[in-house]
Amino acid sequence: MKKWTVILEIFLKDGIFDPQGKTIKDALHNLGFKEVEEVRMGKVLKIDIYGDNKNEVFEKIKKMSEIFLANPVTEDFNIRVEEE
Amino acid sequence: MKKWTVILEIFLKDGIFDPQGKTIKDALHNLGFKEVEEVRMGKVLKIDIYGDNKNEVFEKIKKMSEIFLANPVTEDFNIRVEEE
């Protein structure tokens, strides 16, 4: 089996208030970075995993995300599978 | 000025113990996903920002990361600039 690295990004769904992102945006404005329009903050997981092919790995990470890693009610996620 | 979306990923440097990642890995193993070898957890920021060109935006985000968003002693970051 090959080894893969997966990047899984999890953000609050658009429209759900993100207080961390708001705080960071305000701080950046105070530091002079006024050109910043919006900041959303999320989690990112880097997962090293064994698998036969890219599609199998993708489906496995999708399942983990749906049942455990993300909250499908409030969060969106996206998955990037890279060969090591 | 054009509008850009930047994805900024911030992870603890390799070699620094990541208790959140370890906890998630152990939980995935308990759920039966034994093919997971390692998990590292980080932060990800999605930043909407105005700027003239990709390079200018990249350099601005790099500066924000170095002085405020990331801790250069313990964290590595990477920046992806996408046109909206």
- The span from the first CA to the last CA of chain B, in angstroms, equals 12
CA-nearest residue to B64 within chain A is A28
Pairing label, strands A2-12, B2-12: unpaired
Structural domain boundaries in chain A: 2-15+41-83
φ and ψ of B43, to 5 deg:
-105, 150
Continuous segment of H or E residues that includes residue B26: helix B19-30
pLDDT greater than 90 at residue A84: no
Superfamily of domain A2-15+41-83: Phosphoribosylformylglycinamidine synthase subunit PurS (3.30.1280.10)
pLDDT tens sequence across A10-60: 999 999 999 999 999 999 999 999 999 999 999 999 999 999 999 999 999
Residues of chain B with pLDDT under 50: none
Q: What is the CA radius of gyration of chain B?
A: 16
Q: Do B37 and A7 touch (CB under 8 A)?
A: no
Q: Spell out which residues of chain B touch residue A81, defining contact as CB-CB under 8 Å.
A: none
* Closest CB from A11, A24, A46 relative to B11: A46
ipTM of model: 0.91
pLDDT at residue B84 in the model: 79
pLDDT at residue B33 in the model: 97
Residues A69-84: what's their mean pLDDT?
A: 94
The CA–CA distances, whole Å, from B64 to A6, A76, A83 equal 26, 26, 31
Could you please state the CATH topology (level 3) that the domain comprising B2-83 is classified under: Mth169; Chain: A , (3.30.1280)
